[in-house]
Amino acid sequence: MSATPDPPGDRDPLVVAAEAAVMRSLVDPDHALQAGRFVLAAARRARHPEAEAVALRAIALAARELGDLRSAEHHLREAIATEDAPPERVAQARLSLVSVRTERGHPRQALHVAALAWSHLSPLDRAKLDTQRAVALARLGRHQEAIAACDRALRVLVTAPGTIDDRRFLAGGLLNRGLVHSYRGHWDAAMRDLTACLEISQRSGLRHLARLSAANLPFLAVRRGDIAGAFKHYREAEDTLFGFPERLATMRADFAGALLAAHLPGEARAMLSLAVPDLEASGAHVALAEARLKLAQVELLTGDPHRARQVAEQAAAELAAQDRTSWLPLANEVVLRARLALEPVTPALVAELVACADELEDDAAHLEGAAALRLVAAEAALALDDHPTASAQLARLTEHAEREEPWAPVGTRLTSLAAEPARTPDIPVPVRQHALALEASLQEDATGAFRAVRTGLSEVSERVETFDDPSLRAHAARAGERLAAFGLGLAVRGGCAREVFEFAERWRAVAAPSHACSPATPDRVRAGLGSGALVEFVADEDALLAVVITGERLALRRVGEVRAVKEAIVRLRYALRRRSAAPRRDPEVCDVGNVEAAGLEVERLLLRPLLAELGDGPLVMVPVGALHTLPWGALPCLRERPVTVTASAAAWVHAREVALSGRGGPPVVVAAAGPALAHAHAEVANVLACHPDGREVPGRTKAVLEALEAADVLHLAAHGVFHARSPLVSGITMEDGSLMAYDLLDIPRSPGLVVLSACNSGMSRAPVEGAPLGLPGAFLAKGSSCVVAGLVPVRDEAARALMSMFHELVATGLPPDAALASAAAKTGETGFACFGAGSRPLY
Amino acid sequence: MINDEYFLAALRLASGNDPIPGHVSAAARDAYGLRVPGAVTAAPGECAAAGGVRDGEGSHLVRFVTADLTFDLEVTIGDGLIDVAGHISPNPGEGALIDVKTPHLTLSRRITPTGEFAVTGLPPGWLSLVCHRVGQKPVQTRWVRIRP
């Protein structure tokens, strides 16, 4: 620990042993703890205060690495109190106490401890102290000073002799500076520092410090938009941090914060529910208060304002007790948003929202949150008809936005300024455009409002385009969700079917895979409908509406209430699942009447308002929300009627074009059976018997992926698993594991028709409309024009009967949608649906 | 045994040795407020496992039973919120209602003639159901914790 690298031979062996224990504490805390205790006992026997103080510090550092902050502090205080210990040894113990006090929730006291240590330390130790002060400064929100302290320290440490301890503080200083950079949202600078820290610590054998920097990679990866990579880093960090519960919990809490910012509240909740108890147990009060605040935010986002309010109030009390006043507005924001969800709006609540937005604005790190809250305050003021307050708040969000000057004479402007608004980095584009749209609609300027919304959505689109991974695209698009909802509401209130259709398609195109991005006009849709109809569902807050396009008409119809429809769908799915899971010959459950009744109820709520418009031809359904989980074939009025499900009208037009470009001649059919099913192989045999050019491949992922490249039709008979939380992990169970939607992201092509004879294989979750995530979407994105898949559990035997008949009908020249409708009617197995465009025969 | 410990604790409390912290009393009042007076409690029962289905994993199934009613529940977790679908047998009859309760809200639903019901968009956490039948005591399931 001393800055004078004396050869160990000339120095006191007890002090050398104690210093060796200090050095080991980071590399091997368990061993350092034993060594420290051993040296401490020897030093006390020999009445050697210097060795005693150093040994106590070694024990403390090891305890801290093992997550026992209380013991770390206790031993450091003992070291400081050691009688006759040299002042520089006491100062070194204080140096270590700085970060421990900070982590236990007393950053202000930590700075005081640092001040006491300063005068007795060598220049090199002062640099080390600075790396620790930085943590306390950052906790207090004094980011500028924290960065300055790290910069100063790192300049000294880079030229230090290079003992393991020097390198440890060099790497630690880089780690701390990287973390402060990330607090300030400077992700690239953060990544640079953390990568440098990782390199130095790996080279120096500081395995634990390497793990610490690696533990921040999940968080940083999310912030840089790489969620799949983040989960990979997370799994690695989870393994490397095993046995360090406090570090693991802190990593999870940080990761959760990033997931939260990436619009993944469900994932964040799962992380925090693991992290909070561990942080409570290890007494890490600082990290605990932050994790609790995040948990409050998650509770709010996942629909529990009561819990959100309770947890936020608890977090606020903890943060206040730690003098962390810069965090309090964040906790207050959660409380106010929760109250807004629970109570009627009052002038007092609006005033509090405005005040909280003002407070958030005082901190450079919270400007975006401040803007979002200001918009909420303006909307709340509008709910009270308090236009002056609303306008004043909106003006603060739009003052830097340049507008198209409505009075500029035609021809004097070369470019439309509204299409390229001035960028104000502090106000997120969707928030600013939403404010502009609200301002315009307050002045009854619908055209201006729509223009503002469109501009905002195309900005969101641009950001979405930077991602390839469909789930990242979908989650990036969520930034535009409230703006899109506002625009849709405007269109619905305008009552023009064409406008609602165009707007719904525009929003669906934001997150859609690139092939479905070219807009579909009603005329392009009509061109392929024949005698059929396309129904595009949209949700305007709690109201479910539908735009119906037929050869003759374009109509907007109010369908009903979103919640009632959703509950009816949940009941229908439940009835279907109970029927498939029932032990046969159980009359109580096998009663077909349950399914029939539940189907009639969905039909009554969802289709009765539309039946007059639908005619009796094939139907194309564009679902919204819970309708993505509806097995349409189970609705009695659609019996024997071809139905295709598609993510958007544009996606359907595209899939039809793909289907029409198919090559001539009999299709090449490939089929495979998964494990652990009695009827799967027989089904495959039946399917192949229907087609002149068919072959079976082994039920293994590699064989199936290879078959995808040449086949025109792929049929899989296997178990299916749907993961609502990570829909791209959903898959079909093959003999060697799951064939996941993720595996399909890199394939060069996909067969025109894919039939997934498996439970739940047609299930999708749409974080945003236009990009349902699941197996059907994954195949369609790779060039399939039609996917037939199950939306509920199906019985092994029933699936075989249905699929054998389906392929017989396809082989006689029926298109897939009609073949499925007919086979479902004949076998009574209604749990499958046809996705994409299913109206083109294969023969 | 545990009851003796409770008894001793109650004695200590009653003698004023151990004043009750305010938040404990508040929590007790909240918990007391959740009870349904006069209700019969339905206890957890065995769920039948499904076989011969092409489903890789069953969803969250819970069953509660009393002497004369069986509640079958299926909980599906979506995007952070949960949907609850269920079936009551034998059919509780005309005019029966089901209350789906969380510590903060109660949602009332009609039971279909086939004995089924559903609610959507609940926060994960503690959950209990109460079946109200005409002219009979209400039946309440035990509280069950649904983890996200």
**3-state secondary structure labels for all residues of chain B:** CHHHHHHHHHHHHHCCCCCCCHHHHHHHHHHHHCCCCCCEEEEEECCCCCCCECECCCCEEEEEECCCCEEEEEEEECCCCEEEEEEEECCCCCCCEEEEECCCCEEEEECCCCCEEEEEEECCEEEEEEEECCCCCCEEECCEEECC
Phi, psi of A800 (to 5 degrees): -60, -45
Q: Which of A306, A314, A570, A630 to mutate to test the interface with B (most CBs of B within 10 A)?
A: A570
pLDDT of A745 reads 83
Laid out side by side, the sheet with A786-790 consists of A554-561, A543-550, A533-540, A619-622, A643-645, A832-836, A786-790, A753-757, A713-717, A669-673, A694-696
Give the number of other Cβ atoms within 10 Å of residue B144's Cβ: 15
Under the banding of pLDDT at 50, 70 and 90, the label for residue A411 is very low
How far is it, in rounded angstroms, from Cα A615 to Cα A612? 7
Q: How far is the alpha carbon of A504 from chain B, nearest alpha carbon, in Å?
A: 22
**Residue A1 above 50 pLDDT?**
no
* pLDDT over 50 at A290, yes or no: yes
Cβ of B54 within 8 Å of Cβ of A598? The answer is: no
How far is residue A448 from each of residues A396, A422, A628, B128, measured CA to CA in Å? 19, 17, 33, 50
Do the Cβ atoms of A719 and B54 come within 8 Å?
yes
Q: Is the Cα torsion angle A593, A598, A603, A604 positive or negative in sign?
A: positive
A760 vs B: CB within 8 A: yes
Q: CB distance A757–B54 less than 8 Å?
A: yes
Tokens of B109: 């639903």
Contact A712, A753 (CB under 8 A): yes
Q: What is the pLDDT of residues A52-77, one digit of tens each?
A: 999 999 999 999 888 889 999 999 99
Q: Give the other-Cβ count within 10 Å of A208's Cβ.
A: 19
CB contact under 8 A, B118 and A571: yes
Residue A416 pLDDT greater than 50, yes or no:
no
Nearest to A542 by CA among A564, A567, A571, A572: A564
Place of tokens 């006689």: A812
In B, which residues are within 8 Å of A576 by CB distance? none
Distance CA A394, CA A357 (A): 12
In angstroms, rounded to a whole number, what is the distance separating the alpha carbons of residues A150 and A173?
6
Q: What pLDDT digit, counting tens, does each position of A651-673 carry?
A: 999 999 888 887 677 899 999 99
Contact A631, A833 (CB under 8 A): yes
- Nearest-Cα residue of chain A relative to residue B72: A578
Distance CA A530, CA A476 (A): 37
**Residue A590 near chain B (CB below 8 Å):** no
- Nearest-Cα distance to chain B for A265, in Å, is 7
For A554-597, the pLDDT digits (tens) are 999 999 999 999 999 999 999 998 888 776 545 555 456 789 99
To test the contact with chain B by mutation, choose from A571, A578, A756 the residue with the greatest count of B C-beta atoms within 10 A, namely A571
The helix/strand/coil state of A8 is: helix
Q: Cα-atom radius of gyration of chain B, to the nearest Å?
A: 19
Residues above pLDDT 90, as percent of chain A: 63
Q: Please name the residues between 286 and 325 in chain A that touch chain B, using a CB distance below 8 Å.
A: 298-299, 301-304, 306-307
* CB-based burial label for A792 (10 Å; 0-12, 13-18, 19+): buried
Shortest CA distance to A434 belongs to which of A476, A472, A488, A359?
Answer: A488
Tally of residues, chain A: 843
For residue A492, what pLDDT band results from cuts at 50, 70 and 90? very high
Q: Does A805 touch chain B (CB under 8 A)?
A: no
As given in the structure block, the two tokens for residue A59 are 């024990």
Can you give the pLDDT at residue A449?
94
| Residues of chain B contacting residue A720, judged by C-beta atoms under 8 Å apart | 54-56
Distance of CA A54 to the CA centre of its chain: 46
Tokens for A634?
């189970």
Span A786-799, average pLDDT: 93
- Name every chain A residue with its beta carbon within 8 A of the beta carbon of B98: none
Contact A594/B113, CB-based, under 8 Å? no
∠ CA A271-A272-A275, nearest 5°, is 95
Which 767-796 residues of chain A touch chain B by CB within 8 A?
A: 767, 790, 793-796
Report the DSSP pairing between strands B60-65 and B40-45. Answer: antiparallel
| Cβ–Cβ gap A304/B123 under 8 Å | yes
Mean pLDDT taken over chain A: 88
CB contact under 8 A, B120 and A591: no
* Pairwise CB contact (< 8 Å): A598 & B113: no
With CA atoms as reference, the chain B residue closest to A678 would be B52
Interchain contact, B85 vs A571, CB within 8 Å: yes
pLDDT at residue A33 in the model: 94
Q: Is A709 helix (H, G, I), strand (E, B) or coil?
A: coil
Q: How far apart are the CA of A578 and the nearest CA of chain B, in angstroms?
A: 9
Beta-carbon separation of B52 and A270 below 8 A:
no
pTM score, two decimals?
Answer: 0.77
**Is the bond leading into B90 cis (omega within 30 degrees of zero)?**
yes
- Give the 3-state DSSP-derived string for A400-457, with helices as H, strands as E and coil as C: CCCCCCCCCCCCCCCCCHHHCCCCCCCCCHHHHHHHHHHHHHHCCCHHHHHHHHHHHH
Q: Strand, coil or helix: what is A565?
A: helix
pLDDT tens-digit map of A225-266: 666 667 777 877 777 777 788 888 988 998 888 888 777 777
pLDDT confidence of residue A425: 52
Chain B residues inside the 8 Å CB shell of A338: none
Q: Is A275 on the interface with B (CB under 8 A)?
A: no
Given an 8 Å threshold on Cβ–Cβ distance, is A570 in contact with B124?
no
Q: Which residues of chain B have pLDDT under 70?
A: 1-2, 48-59, 79-80, 148
**Pairwise CB contact (< 8 Å): A302 & B119:** no
Query: Do B78 and A724 count as a contact with CB atoms less than 8 A apart?
Result: yes
CA dist A776 and A789 (Å) reads: 7
A795 and B52 within 8 Å at the Cβ level: the answer is yes
CA distance B5 to chain A (A): 25
Cβ neighbors of A362 (< 8 A, separation 6 or more) are A329
The pLDDT of residue B12: 79
> Among all chains, which residue has been given the structure tokens 């404990």?
B24
Two tokens, residue A841: 């025969």
* Alpha-carbon gap: B68 to the closest alpha carbon of chain A (Å): 15
pLDDT at residue A412, as a whole number: 38
Give residues with Cβ within 8 angstroms of B48, minimum separation 6.
A583
Mode of pairing for the β-strands spanning A533-540 and A619-622 = parallel
Tell me the residues of chain A between 6 and 45 that have a Cβ less than 8 Å away from chain B.
Answer: none
A598 touches chain B (CB under 8 A): yes
Interface touch B85/A299, C-beta < 8 Å: no
pLDDT at A706 (0 to 100): 93
**Rg of the Cα atoms in chain A:** 32
| Identity of the residue in B53, B55, B79 whose CB atom sits nearest the CB atom of A765 | B79
